[in-house]
Amino acid sequence: MPYRTAFSHVLSSVIEPSAERTGTEGRFPRGAVTALGRAGLLGLTVSADLGGGGLGLSEAAEVVARIARVCPATAAVLQSHYAAVAVLEVHGSRWIRGEIAAGRHLGSLALTEGAPGERVPANGPWTPRSTASRTGDVVALSARKREVVAAGEADSYVWSSRPLAAEDGMTLWTVPAHAPDLFVPARTDGAGPYGSATSGVVADPVLVPADAMLGEDGGGLGIVLGTVLPWLLELREALGETAVHPSVAVVADAGPDRRPAGALAS
């Protein structure tokens, strides 16, 4: 079945009927996410050789834009998912990409740190405060993330930290969302569309295997600027201001003179 046909069916039969309750009651749109997964939309941008749709940013933007007109919360969730998948498609394991292609895995981004409402640091909105320490084949990540879409609802996060060994920069990891010692506070940040489960996430610490690293140690900022940010900005263009991802809002609020070197203009 062509993806547009499958998508139209999910939109009319699942997302539209539940959109009002999602928006008024603030319930995470689990039914919509499940239906999108079964219809192949979660795996839309995963390589076809793993069972995904093999499509790209323009098709993802079309899907998110159509959903945003009906249910901003579901659109925000899918926006963060597609941006996370863009990283995982290049740097993630074959297993997790296969799970996404099969519609069984929802990803999200955990890149922003600090207290809600805190001013953007002068040295960049994604400057990591999170620490990472390695013992053998295990890495302990300690952090207080904020404005994580689908917090506690996603299956994994693309997570940033300070490097293990590099002198500066950022390192990215795949962190299972239901790992022990990973907590979602009962009180949310208040960011993101109502129902998108946008909240802080605390690692105290969370343990991940060393091979959960995405890319090279210290090379995470290049991945964020070269992959995550272009996807989020393109999806924002498709959405207008309906469901802007918090990471895009942080960059926009920073102003052109305070964005990381190489960041795209909004």
Structure tokens at 40: 């192949």
- d(Cα 40, Cα 52) in Å, to the nearest integer? 7
Residue 168: what pLDDT? 83
DSSP percent split of the chain into helix, strand, coil, nearest 5: 40, 20, 40
Residue 266: what pLDDT? 26
Residue 163: what pLDDT? 95
Give the domains, in start order, of the chain with CATH numbers.
3-105+225-244 (1.10.540.10), 110-220 (2.40.110.10)
Residue 265: what pLDDT? 31
Q: Cα 232 vs. chain centroid, distance in angstroms?
A: 10
Residue 247: what pLDDT? 54
Tell which residue, 144, 120, 255, 248, has the closest CA to residue 191: 248
Residue 257: what pLDDT? 41
Residue 227: what pLDDT? 94
Burial class (CB in 10 A: 0-12, 13-18, 19+), 168: exposed
Strands 199-209 and 182-183: antiparallel
Nearest-10 Cα torsion for 213, 219, 220, 225: -150
Residue 18: what pLDDT? 93
pLDDT digits (tens, 9 = 90+) for 192-235: 788 999 999 999 999 999 999 999 999 999 999 999 999 988 88
Across the beta sheet with 107-110, the strand order is 107-110, 156-161, 171-176, 213-214
- What pTM, to 2 d.p., does this model score? 0.88
- d(Cα 78, Cα 108) in Å, to the nearest integer? 9
pLDDT tens-digit profile, the chain (266 residues): 688 999 999 999 999 999 988 888 889 999 999 999 999 999 999 999 999 999 999 999 999 999 999 999 999 999 999 999 999 999 999 999 999 999 999 999 999 886 655 655 544 556 788 899 999 999 999 999 988 999 999 999 999 999 999 888 899 999 999 899 899 886 665 677 889 999 999 999 999 999 999 999 999 999 999 999 999 888 877 666 544 455 544 444 433 343 443 333 32
Residue 237: what pLDDT? 75
Residue 255: what pLDDT? 39
pLDDT digits (tens, 9 = 90+) for 133-162: 999 999 999 999 988 999 999 999 999 999
